[in-house]
Structure 1
Amino acid sequence: MDQKLMQLYADFIVKVGVNVQPRQNFIVRCPVTMPEFAHACVRAGYEAGAKRVYVRWEDERLSRLDMELAAEADLKAMQPFELRSWLDLAEDPDGCCTLAIHASDPEAYAGLDAGKLNRVNLARRTMLKPWQEYTMNDRIQWCVASVPAPGWAAKVFPGLPVDEAMEKLWDVIFEVCRVTTGAPVKAWRDHVAKTKARRDQLNAWQLDSVHMTSANGTDLTVGLAEDATWEGASSVSERGVEFIANVPTEEVFTAPHRERVNGIVYGTRPYVYNGQLIDGWHVTFRDGKVVEQGAEKNADLLAEMLSTDENACRIGEFALVPASSPIRKSGVLFYNTLFDENAACHIAFGAGYPTNIVGGRDMTRAQLLEKGLNDSAIHEDVMVGAVDSHITGLRKNGEKVEIFKDGEWAF
């Protein structure tokens, strides 16, 4: 691994991605396998003026042992301090911001009871929902980025020794995250500006719905929520601080109306859910709800995910990503949603983002539901874009506009 590029990457995701502000508390979630990168992020956080940097270490092997050996009831019986440990920092007068560093083995939980995994994770998400509202509503700056891990690298490059696979995965991450330009801040400023221009055009069109078709059989119409807006590249926190929630990001996304999605859509990349792969999947929607689904691999896991709660079978996000994105051009299947969702247009089962509704940040969940925004304990992005995807939009004035042609922006 190139140490100079690693520090550039850490500096960028902390100082631009999260955009740590003076006196803010900075929370870093990082796998125990990557202490060197965590240390680089801590240094960058303090250089940006953080009051304190708190590192929360995560251990995937330990989590698997818990899921395998502990009783379900005990795993679901979480303690109040687990939530308070987040809220205490969020409620500090100086506020907080957070970085999640992902380095997951795509099949970390393969072979375990999928139902147990889903129920335990649902209990955890439910308990942590007051904290998750801070990120879902962009009340604080937040960023998700990834670094290689042995299990992940071996999955992506199975023909190589693990050390070589790790090195190669680092190289690809540096490339698709624009670090190899040597000036990632400038490269990202240019990218954000172009993405914002497309976002602004989509908003100017005042779309009522979008229609996606592909040769693989996808034929999907997505009606948009009332007062839906398109967002992309960067976001702005409640305190007016600009940040980049996902590194990398190539998407422009909006809020579907939870009852106005119809048709069939086919997945174009495998999806990792609870440490297990779902592949060769499709779903059919009627009036916003999945009424039929199937998968070539782990169909039962897909069904489990869609039944997490009453609204998990509806979608909360529709995102546009061109086939020419750096992630797709790399030719690498990452088995990692952060990267793979930025290789293709995607939808997200479950909750929508309040910030995709005009004034949504200040609305109650009941008010957002009235607008058509979906609410659920999950938000799971799945890839549906193909190289021949054709997407048109229907404006509120009845005019049709072309958005995507052969998988690329048409404007």
Structure 2
Amino acid sequence: MNKTYLQLYADFIVKVGVNVRPRQTLLVRCPVTMPEFAHACVKAGYEAGAKEVIVRWEDEKLERIRLEMGAEADLCAHKPSELRSWLDYAEDPDGCCTLAIHAADPEAYAGLDAGKLNRVSLARRTFMKSWQEYTMNDRIQWCVVAVPAPGWAKKVFPDLPEAEAVEKLWSVIFDVCRVSTGDPVAAWREHVAKTKARRDQLNAWDLDRVRLQSANGTDLTIGLAEDASWEGASSVAENGAEFIANVPTEEVFCAPHRDRVNGTVCGTKPYVYNGQLIEGWHVTFRDGKVVEHGADKNGELLGELLTTDENANRIGEIAFVPASSPINRSGVLFFNTLFDENAACHIAFGAGYPTNIRGGAKLTRAQLMEKGLNDSAIHEDVMIGAPDTRITGVRKNGEEVTIFENGEWAF
């Protein structure tokens, strides 16, 4: 692994992706398998002026034992101190920001009781909702990135020895995250500017609905929520700091109206859910709700996802990603949503982002739902873009515009 690139990656993520401000506390979540990268991020955080950088280590092997052997009732019970340990930093007058470093084995929990996993996950999400509102509403800067832990690297490159697989995945990540340019800050500045221009054009069109079509059977019409706003590339937190929530990111995304989604959509990449793979899936919507679904592998897991709560079978996001994105051009199937969602157009089952509604960060969930934004304990991105995807939009004045042709931006 190129140590110069590793520090460039960490510096970019912390100083530009998160954009740590002086005196803020930086909260970092990192797998125990990746201490060197965590140390590089801590160094960058203090260089950026952080008051304190706190690393919270995560161990998926330990978590698998806990999920397999722990009683469900106990796994679903949470101590108030756990939530307070996050909120105390968010409520600090100097503020906080967060960095989540992912490196999970896509099948870390394969073979475990899918229903139990889903219920435990739902209990945690519900318990932590007041903290999650800080990121869902961009009240703080936040960023999600990924690094190649051995289990993940072997899944992506199964024919390589473990050490070589890790090296290969590092190399690909450096490429698709524009680190191997040698100047990721400049490369990302150019990328963000292009993405913002497309975002602004979509907003200028004042779209009422969009239609996605592919030869694989996808024919989906998505009406947009009231006062919907397209977003992409970078966001702005309450304190005015610009940040990049996902590295990498290639998407421009918006809020569907929870009741105005109709048609069928077919997944174009496997989806990792609760440490297990769902492959060859499809769903059919009627008036916003999934009325039929199936999958070639783990179809029952897809059913668990869609019944997490009463709104998990509706969508909260539609995102456009060109087939020419660096992630897709790499030819690598990452088995990791952060990367794979930026290789293809996608939708998200569950909650929408309040920031996709004009003025939405200041509205209550009830007010947002009145505008059509979906509310749920989950937000699960699934990939639907194909090389021949065609997307058309209908403006509120009735004019039709072409957005995608053959998987690429048409403007």
Distance 2:77 2:186 in 1: 47
Counterparts of 1:57-206 in structure 2 under 5 Å?
57-206=57-206
- Secondary structure of 1:20's partner? coil
Identify the residue that residue 217 of structure 1 maps to in structure 2: 217
Q: 1 CA distance for matches of 2:225 and 2:320?
A: 16
* Matching residue's letter, 2:212: M
Residue 356 (structure 1) shift:
0.1
1:144 Cα deviation after fit: 0.1
Matches within 5 A, 1:8-407: 8-407=8-407
- SS of 1:375's equivalent in the other structure is coil
Count of matched residue positions in the alignment of Structure 1 and Structure 2: 411
Q: Whole-Å Cα distance in 2 between the matches of residues 374 and 70 of structure 1?
A: 33
C-alpha distance in 2 between matches for 1:326 and 1:305:
29
Q: Quick one: distance in 1 between partners of 2:238 and 2:404?
A: 32
* 1:134, distance to aligned residue in structure 2 (A): 0.1
Residue 382 of structure 1 aligns to which amino acid in structure 2?
V
**Distance in 2 of aligned mates of 1:130 and 1:303:** 27
For 2:179 and 2:46, the matched residues in 1 are separated by 21
Give the AA of the match of 1:378: I
**How far off is 1:127 after superposition?**
0.2
SS at match of 1:386: coil
Whole-angstrom CA distance in 2 between matches of 1:295 and 1:82: 37
Give distance in 2, aligned partners of 1:270 and 1:81: 37
Q: Secondary structure at the match of 1:23?
A: coil
Structure 1 segments (4+ residues) deviating >3 Å:
none
Tell me the CA shift for residue 400 of structure 1: 0.1
| Distance of 2:63 and 2:342 partners within structure 1 | 27
Per-residue deviation at 1:180? 0.2
1:319-360, CA deviations, whole angstroms, 9 ceiling, x for partnerless residues? 000000000000000000000000000000000000000000
2-structure distance, mates of 1:405, 1:136? 31
| TM norm structure 1 | 1.00
Q: Secondary structure at the match of 2:247?
A: coil
For 1:381, the aligned partner's letter is D
Counterpart residue type for residue 244 of structure 1? I
State the alpha-carbon separation in 1 of the partners of residues 77 and 396 from structure 2: 48
Output the CA distance in 1 between the equivalents of 2:294 and 2:121: 23
SS of equivalent residue, structure 2 residue 265: strand
CA RMSD, 1 decimal: 0.2
Identity between Structure 1 and Structure 2 (%): 79
Consecutive unaligned residues in structure 1, runs of 5 or more: none
Write the deviation string for residues 171-219 of structure 1: whole angstroms up to 9, x where unpaired.
0000000000000000000000000000000000000000000000100
> Distance in 2 between the 1:237 and 1:301 partners?
35
Letter in 2 for 1:176: V
* Letter paired with 1:336: N
Q: Secondary structure in 1 aligned to 2:358?
A: coil
Alpha-carbon displacement from aligned partner over 1:58-89 (angstroms, at most 9, x marks no partner): 00000000000110000001110110000000
Cα deviation 1:217-253 (Å, max 9, x = unaligned) = 1000000000000000000001110000000000000
Aligned amino acid, residue 339 of structure 2: F
* AA of the residue aligned to 1:129: K
Q: Distance in 2 between matches of 1:400 and 1:376?
A: 32
Once the 2 structures are TM-superposed, how far is the Cα of residue 290 of structure 1 from its aligned partner?
0.1
TM-score (norm 2): 1.00
Unaligned runs of 5+ in 2: none
The residue identity in structure 2 corresponding to 1:140 is I
Aligned AA (1:262): N
Please list the CA deviations of residues 103-125 of structure 1 after superposition, one character each: whole Å capped at 9, or x if unmatched. Answer: 00000000000000000000000
Letter in 2 for 1:387: P
Task: Provide the secondary structure at the position in 2 that maps to 1:170.
Answer: helix
Amino acid aligned to 1:285? F
Q: Deviations over 1:27-58 (max 9, x none)?
A: 00000000010000000000000000010000
Deviations along 1:275-325, whole A, 9 cap, x unmatched? 000000000000000000000000000000000000000000000000000
Counterpart amino acid of residue 374 in structure 1: N
Q: Which residue identity is paired with 2:397?
A: N
SS at match of 1:22: coil
Take 1:139 and 1:95, find their aligned partners in 2: how far apart are those partners?
10
| Corresponding letter in the other structure for 2:349 | F
User: How many angstroms apart in 2 are the aligned matches of 1:218 and 1:53?
Assistant: 45
